[in-house]
Structure 1
């Protein structure tokens, strides 16, 4: 009896499947993105405005970096969102301060890149354990990369770190402001999405019985209902939202059918404890660290301008939960960034004023959040110029060369992220295959 193929060969065959290219071109549907996009745009815009009002436009890019905490917890119930935003903001600031401190201390760039790789793995594990969802650890690596760019003194570490913390605080305030007027809005959205998902599953199942699309639709409906039940459990445990949660629970039971009692509310620590026994986060963390070390080393040896951006590319690729997801993300991020660099090039070469740059950054941020759930590659057309303009606000590097460097580093990182999926497997799987 022939022995089964090794995990490396089996995964390599999966990576080479041409279906990934078709999947990378597919646009999905999503809803309720405008409010989240406006919150993110408002957080970044207010941060840039505050920097200008304080007369410290040189710190605006670092403050806006902290404001990217607004990307997390978009649809979480407010008490969980408060904890996720605080944790994400703190992690962004810590990542920046750590690499900036290494730079200020005169550490070799290779040492700083090693720290970025470890940060990327740690942030990935934390995001998986507490189930933050997108964007995962990618933004943390962006923050860490900010600490490496340009000459940094100890005074800069303090000022820029405080600016990042102020930006994170503004993001927290903006994203939590809805609690004052509509505290049950996340639960209403979750129940509506569950009802819509169930309706789509019924339609697909009736139209194509036995088709794989029907199974996918049923699985999506199951996840939507489970998420709604989790959100309702959170709201039921709080006095201000309890009455509305009871009504919404009854509405969910009508469309989803009777079910057992709602699960107990879990805070972030409870979620991490529940996720801990699963082995997936360990493998993902190892892959992210190894890919980060490899991409940073190759970019450094090749003389690329921003090796940490290659690490960001590999980290973003490995936020995918499956081989298929990772390959699709790599294709979308690599191609999208290359095209996005062409968009960024004239914007960087125009040397826009601070006010004009701020307006463009906020506009790109809003468009990104509307598009990213529909197609990650299309979103890179706005993410790339937005990130480069934010970097230019910090005065780091030559704007005329940043676009090309961003494209090259990202493609390298995405490729090495896929390579990590191919070569890094659980030891038990390898032994079983042998």
Structure 2
């Protein structure tokens, strides 16, 4: 549900390259509020509607004890709101099936196993599987938190084996309703997700143009990374849009022309035109896209030929601050999806097997670069032996098991909340996990205080409890993109209310157990995170540097040849751009992950800085080569 926090401004204690360095853990930036995500209201409203209908139905039937099972399906409505509707339909189907499967495993174990210690182990293993699966699929917020919360709770719900199919059917039915709720906006704004993705790229490009007029090399690097990531994510979104009719091809073509304008900011020089005026124009187009207004007609422009702004003046200042660039670019959903973008060619110049465009008698459309695994193969490749996700999975499993067992030792009868807390704090590295642990603890404490204040209202009846659950669900999504701790203030009382429908624990016991579980889960989980460091993080940088060097060399070989007319040159140029930007995004992600490990060998900062400078210079050349034919298409 929450986004990754921004990297801290504290500088690590460095050692010579190849040595070990210690990174101080941040405090102030951990609780700092950020701007909310631009589409936070979409998952918030969807979840409220998807949860309200089953909850009110159960209330009318007098079976509010079943709300845990319907909530499992209803909370699937929080996912996939950034995807085009065709891809959203497929993704939500997998989310619902995964949720129901996890619930079935937990309920079956609860009906067959009486040992709480064994149930903690099983819940922890399932939590680790959720974490690795969500990271491998790039499902996005709320990630593994929701299925882990539902499954861990279900492991400790009294259950008979004969009840499991019926309870799973309730979850599946609620999940089907969530699917319908999330797909309903297609009737009003059928191209809304791709328009928002394009608007994000335009706004990032406008920020690059404004930043490029200054003298801060680090700021230019930050803006350039943000633009590259946003443009790459937007191309990925457009490639998910099916083009089955000329009308749909024309609509996607207009979005592509706008996206090419944003992409051209990576290859242009502000001295060619007034950068402020150009930035205002891009922002104006982004505003039109978000408002659902008709798309503007883009006039062709000449290709840019000069050095991009900021490439030659970044200097040493870039190395200490670039980590903020890509992380903030990815924080709003523009994650490093490098499945990417490619070239464009003139209409009609399609060659079987490697066509860089789609025609349908309308505008030429870009196609993704070949050679990258997609779908299930891509997910399996990310989970293969040697994957950086495996240490994270080991952290989750070990931390959750120990947290659950310690919670049992201190006297908590149902330690699932300790398991959930431990699972929720594990992020890509130690620094982010530390931030999440602090945020979770602070948010849960304030949430418990809020629950105590509202306790008299919960005694007025189940209808009031339903209203509070829905209000907290909406508030959680409204606040959690500002900072995770702020969202946890709403999540905690909502979870307590959902638990209260099926049980009758005294409020004092419920609040006390929840607080103990929170402290134990955060402390034990963070201890495991500190002790089980991700030693593969720095190795991933070396691999990413090699890939950037290879992609840059291929780009320079292509740029050394004269452009040839027709589809082949544009296609090869676009695919080279795709490979290079994907490698640059991968390098920046690897650096961000390794930089956040508190105990890690010193990073090759000079090599990283030079590789990114050279890579973005080559990327600018590829973009300039594509600009003229792409805009004229």
TM over 0.5: yes
Q: Structure 2 vs 1, CA of residues 313 and 247 (structure 1 numbering), >3 Å: closer, same or farther?
A: same
CA shift for structure 1 position 300: 1.5
1:182 and 2:189 aligned = yes
Partners of 1:96 and 1:161 within 8 A in 2: yes
Q: Out of 415, 424, 439, which is 1:316 matched to? A: 424
In 1, the alpha carbon distance for the partners of 2:83 and 2:134 equals 14
Partners of 1:93 and 1:164 within 8 A in 2: yes
Query: What is the aligned partner in structure 2 of residue 81 from structure 1?
Result: 88
1:27 and 2:33 aligned = yes
Matched ranges for 1:203-214 at <5 A:
203-207=210-214, 209-211=216-218, 213-214=219-220
1:279 and 2:279 aligned = no
1:131 and 2:238 aligned = no
1:223 and 2:229 aligned = yes
TM-score by length of 2: 0.62
Partners of 1:96 and 1:146 within 8 A in 2: no
Residue segments in structure 2 that go unaligned for 5+ positions in a row: 1-14, 268-341, 344-365, 540-599, 602-633
Q: Which has the higher helix share?
A: 1
In 2, the alpha carbon distance for the partners of 1:390 and 1:207 equals 52
Q: Structure 2 vs 1, CA of residues 205 and 405 (structure 1 numbering), >3 Å: closer, same or farther?
A: farther
1:154 and 2:157 aligned = no
Matched ranges for 1:11-410 at <5 A:
13-14=22-23, 16-17=24-25, 20-29=26-35, 30-207=37-214, 209-211=216-218, 213-237=219-243, 239=245, 241-257=248-264, 260=343, 261-263=366-368, 268-273=375-380, 275-276=382-383, 279-318=387-426, 320-348=427-455, 350-395=458-503, 397-410=505-518
Partners of 1:80 and 1:267 within 8 A in 2: no
Deviations, residues 111-161 of structure 1 (Å, cap 9, x unaligned)? 111111110111111111111012211111111122133432224433322
Partners of 2:417 and 2:518 within 8 A in 1: yes
Deviations, residues 249-277 of structure 1 (Å, cap 9, x unaligned)? 11111122186344269864254156346
CA shift for structure 1 position 104: 1.5
Partners of 1:51 and 1:60 within 8 A in 2: yes
| Of 144-153 and 291-300, the range deviating more from structure 2 | 144-153
CA shift for structure 1 position 78: 1.7
CA shift for structure 1 position 166: 1.7
Which secondary structure does the structure 1 equivalent of 2:481 belong to? coil
CA shift for structure 1 position 90: 2.1
Q: Structure 2 vs 1, CA of residues 150 and 224 (structure 1 numbering), >3 Å: closer, same or farther?
A: same
In 2, the alpha carbon distance for the partners of 1:362 and 1:392 equals 15
Partners of 1:229 and 1:262 within 8 A in 2: no
Runs of 4+ in 1 over 4 A off after TM superposition: 1-6, 236-241, 264-267, 426-433
CA shift for structure 1 position 411: 2.6
In 2, the alpha carbon distance for the partners of 1:34 and 1:103 equals 36
CA shift for structure 1 position 246: 1.4
Residue segments in structure 1 that go unaligned for 5+ positions in a row: none
Partners of 1:77 and 1:234 within 8 A in 2: yes
Provide the aligned length of Structure 1 versus Structure 2.
423
In 1, the alpha carbon distance for the partners of 2:420 and 2:43 equals 24
CA shift for structure 1 position 221: 2.4
Q: Structure 2 vs 1, CA of residues 425 and 237 (structure 1 numbering), >3 Å: closer, same or farther?
A: farther
CA shift for structure 1 position 348: 4.2
CA shift for structure 1 position 236: 4.4
| Of 282-291 and 424-433, the range deviating more from structure 2 | 424-433
Deviations, residues 309-333 of structure 1 (Å, cap 9, x unaligned)? 1111111111x22322221111111
In 1, the alpha carbon distance for the partners of 2:460 and 2:17 equals 62
Flag the structure with larger Rg.
2
CA shift for structure 1 position 94: 2.2
Partners of 1:339 and 1:381 within 8 A in 2: yes
Partners of 2:447 and 2:493 within 8 A in 1: yes
Which secondary structure does the structure 1 equivalent of 2:217 belong to? coil
Q: Structure 2 vs 1, CA of residues 46 and 429 (structure 1 numbering), >3 Å: closer, same or farther?
A: closer
Q: Structure 2 vs 1, CA of residues 411 and 399 (structure 1 numbering), >3 Å: closer, same or farther?
A: same
| Of 403-412 and 222-231, the range deviating more from structure 2 | 403-412
